[in-house]
Structure 1
Amino acid sequence: MAKLRSRVRDAAEHALARHQYVAPVDLLGALGWLPAPRVQEWRQGRIPYLAQVLPVGPDRLDAVLGYLREWAGERGMVATELDYPAATRDRWQLRFTADGEQALERAFRTHWISPELSEGRRRQLETRQAKAPDLVVNIPAGDWECAACGVAEPAGEYLFLEGGEPLCLGCADLGHLVFLPAGNAALSRRAKKESTLTALVLEFNRRRKRYERRGVLVERAALELAERQCLADEDLRARRRERDAVRRADADVRFQAAMAERIRELYPGCPAQRAAAIAEHAATRSSGRVGRSAAGRALDEQAVRLAVIASVRHLDTGYDELLMSGVPRIEARERIAADIDRVLRDWA
């Protein structure tokens, strides 16, 4: 268990540096036991209890929670128990364990917050963490049937899942909302603020194997009000966007330089030009690559290593040729694993 204890402490330190608090759910994700899509499904009420999707048993979970408490005690962290409301119409409290054992449930709900935060900042953090997730409506790829009214719906018709059952918007009491496509951040933000009831619209991207936002459902009156507000200050927001674009470009250049320096620190044998190219590719804004993840922005060693491995895989091995010849992805990665290790050893 010594290795697990070390992994828990390292993950907790990284989480503290990034967020100024550590939550057990986030820690399980950092350990590689809880992918983000499973957390999303659980928050949306699609998974009865979180332990159901974990690849480890109760003994390992107890050990992780114990190591986290030990670390938090040494660091003088402040324990705060927060609720986890589901993204359902009734906002019921989510469960972590099969039997709902109170001690374990409390341990999972406990967030360990930095003692350096002011009281006001701590309250803000607690309020944000305890906020119920947005309701979510899906765009299904195939035909389906509403579990409440029994009406057959074609592919593309909005579907609301509750308790694992598909509901049409009418049966989910969301039929009066109108769709606002993604793309205008100011309009979406204002419409959500003015609307008493809202729901995110997601669609599963088969290529990327993840749900992606397509827009939001809001009340018609809220959308009309938001449109008037956006028209009133359109020129001001245009000037602000220009300034923000310049600022983001400067920030991206600085971040890519810092990542290239971090790559050279971890892999001194990597040519400077190659390190710069890896950093530019991995840290491209809105790319979804590892460099734009929270760990990547923190220049976490594992995140940087993954960026380097991705570059080596595609440029220094026959991986792409194997894929094009029909070799399954997992098998192709196994075949070129030794080649990647060789390059990393040379660079290290």
Structure 2
Amino acid sequence: MRWWMVGLLVAGSLVWAQEKSVRVGLQAGGTLSWVILAMERFGVGKELGLEVKATTYASKDANRLALRSGEVQIVVDDFVEVQLLRDRGFPVQAIYPYSLLTGGVAVPAKSPIQSLADLKGRSIGTTSLTDKTFLMLRALCIRKHGFDPLQQSKVSAVGSPLMAELMERGQLEAALPLWHHLARMQATGQYRELLSSATILRELGLPTDVPLLFIIAREDADPEALRRFLRAVQLASERMKQDSAIWEAILEARLYALPDKSQLPALRKRWESGLPQRWDASSLISLRLLVERLLAVAGPEIVGIERFDPRAFSTQFAVALR
């Protein structure tokens, strides 16, 4: 072995010998808990010299409070929340995308609704009027078909788990469920996806891989620990794509509940479709364009922010992950 190769191996060993740790906030029911479990099962933390101290919080607000107070250093949240935190003076940044927009519009399999134009005047369920996929749907309907579903359809805020039941009763004709409920609904064969979030983005003239959720970290966290955590997320996610046993473990640990295990392949496929593949300057441009389109349709009161602030996002860690 050449001397320079020995030097690299020794240097690498010394780096990993200096174990790092991070405090991570998990929202009950959130998918980051799946990845953390995978890290543990696959020994990724040990492999990278990283100790992950995870705490689960009952609500999104509790998780955000833990980040603000410094109780945890990392959480997963959307691109709006990271800007709101910074606007309030909290030293945080979105350091890497966690998940893409992977929702869509569901209709009953035998529904006569065949296109967005057919949604005019129909009863539509959405998790909230601020849901990003619903805002994108509004933008596309206005742009392509000249109507705003919020004004010219019957829109109701509905809990995602109830959407299938309400469509079965005929109380809803279309719905925008959370991505995992959409996957389950499709798996039953009773519902079909009229339009995916990716298709909506493409029709709006945007790339289909615009991130929705980000790994958000406090700026006072150890940069090397953050790098190792991001690498651990990558490694665990890649192994989750290949390992069926980890998905059984997720269900056994009650991190997610399926009414029918035959829906698991559809859940896995939809989850995998949301894994980000890039994070660079062009990603920031795409995110800015999306925010501008949403603001043009719904205004800052609904979107939650008045502008896109690039300072809330950092791509510096992405270089080390390539």
| TM-score normalised over the length of structure 1 | 0.18
**More strand by proportion, 1 or 2?**
2
Larger Rg: 1
| TM-score normalised over the length of structure 2 | 0.19
